[in-house]
Amino acid sequence: MSVLTHPTPVAPVRTPSKRTVLMCRPDFFTVNYRINPWMHPQNPTDTSLAVKQWEVLYQTYLDLGFTVELIDPIDGLPDMVYSANGGFVLDGIAYGALFTYEQRAAEGPAYMDWFREAGYTVAEPEHTNEGEGDILLVGDVILAGTGFRSDIESHQEVAKLFGREVITLNLINPSFYHLDTAVAVLDPSPAPGEKANIAYLESAFDEPSLKILRERYPDAILVSEEDATVLGLNSYSDGYNVVIASRALGFEKQLRERGYNPIGVDLSELLLGGGGVKCCTLELRR
Ligand code: ARG
């Protein structure tokens, strides 16, 4: 008689990679206009708490061995803390942001000045786009969001500029207005031959986009509404360590099961502006 054994699945070994990111201290953070459903200008914000919480994220990155560059915050630009929207940087080229709303317009040139001074080749944008908020590098392809902020024309601009395949995804839920609120990139630098994986919220996308995601990422982590609603997907991974919203407990468990090391950070104050971990993080790729 043969005995059939069912080996318990073993989570793959994940390898962290060193990252370089750009952040902006929220010295002038507040909510005094409303450009997404999270923002309620009538409710008070606590700027010093925002700074304290942001510093924990900053220190977490330093402890992980990341290089963290800083851009000076500008008085009157309360959303500048969300550096992910400042551009999209790949192959030493910084594609500048062109913001949807007037309230953030001045951030575009401010970030481009920083990129120039840091030695990046700046590509001035022709079309509305909010940087890495809507443009995510996943392995060799770029996932690009549209529906609320970035124009679809910017996706073509990105494809031409970087010579990579760009996949347009349509966002349909105003609470998940940027792609980085609905998709998490789990493997920023996959080893040659290895596929980069993602996590996402299914209900954030229209049917054609969902079809693409299901076909391309059959092993993706599907995150619950509950975790997405604390901006759990708005996370930043080095391939092993995944910095996430500390309140995203389900996502934390899912990550652990897949062999990642989730690290929870509380950015409750910055959530009042509609942003989380990833929003405060812009990846710099030389
Ligand atoms: N208040 C900002 C806005 O609505 C939040 C930006 C969040 N950033 C992000 N990458 N999702 O524009």
According to the model, what pLDDT value does residue 237 have? 98
Q: Structure tokens of 283?
A: 């990846």
Buried/exposed code over 244-273 (b: 16+ C-beta within 10 A; e: otherwise): bbbbbbebbebbeebebebbbbebebbbbb
- Residue 38 confidence (pLDDT): 97
CB 122 less than 6 A from any atom of ligand 1? no
Residues 6 or more apart in contact with residue 48 via CB below 8 angstroms = none
Please tell me if the CB atom of residue 275 comes closer than 6 angstroms to any atom of ligand 1. Answer: yes
CATH code: domain 20-283 is 3.75.10.10
- Residue 243 Cα to chain centre, angstroms: 11
| Domain boundaries along the sequence of the chain | 20-283
Place of tokens 């969001």: 145
What pLDDT does residue 7 have? 64
CA gap 283, 232 in Å, rounded: 18
Centre of ligand 1 from the C-alpha of residue 85, in Å: 7
Q: Looking at the CA of residue 132, tell me the nearest atom of ligand 1.
A: 10
Q: Determine the average pLDDT of the residues in 127-145.
A: 97
CA-wise closest residue to 262 among 3, 92, 11: 11
Residue pLDDT, tens place only, 182-214: 999 999 999 888 899 999 999 999 999 999 999
Supply the pLDDT for residue 153: 98
Q: What is the pLDDT of residue 224?
A: 98
What is the percentage of the chain residues whose pLDDT exceeds 70?
Answer: 97
Q: Exposed, middle or buried: residue 131 (CB in 10 Å: 0-12, 13-18, 19+)?
A: buried
Query: Would you say residue 177 has pLDDT above 90?
Result: yes
Residue 117 pLDDT > 60:
yes
Coil/strand/helix, residue 219: coil
Report the alpha-carbon distance of residue 186 to residue 170 in Å, rounded: 20
217 C-alpha to center of ligand 1: Å?
26
pLDDT value at residue 213 = 98
Give the integer Cα–Cα distance in Å for 100 and 119: 27
Task: Write out the H or E segment, with its range, that includes residue 200.
Answer: strand 198-200
User: Helices marked H in the chain — which ranges?
Assistant: 47-63, 107-117, 152-162, 207-216, 225-228, 249-257, 268-271
Q: Given a cut of 80, is residue 260 above it in pLDDT?
A: yes
pLDDT score, position 184: 98
Instruction: Report the alpha-carbon distance of residue 226 to residue 249 in Å, rounded.
Output: 9
Please tell me whether residue 103 adopts helix, strand or coil conformation. Answer: helix
Helix (H) or strand (E) holding 163: none
Annotation says 127 is catalytic: no
Q: How far is CA 158 from CA 129, 132, 155, 178, in A?
A: 10, 11, 5, 16
User: In the annotation, is 178 catalytic?
Assistant: yes
**pTM recorded for the entire structure:** 0.95
Q: What is the pLDDT of residues 14-40, one digit of tens each?
A: 999 999 999 999 999 999 999 999 999
Per the CB < 8 A criterion, the answer to whether 30 and 45 are in contact is yes
Q: Give pLDDT, residue 2.
A: 53
CA atoms of 15 and 106, how far apart (whole Å)? 38
- The Å distance, Cα 30 to ligand 1 centre, comes to 13
pLDDT of residue 128: 98
| Token digits of residue 278 | 């990833």
pLDDT confidence of residue 6:
64
CA distance linking residue 254 with residue 44, whole number of Å: 34
Cβ distance 45 to 274 under 8 Å? Answer: no
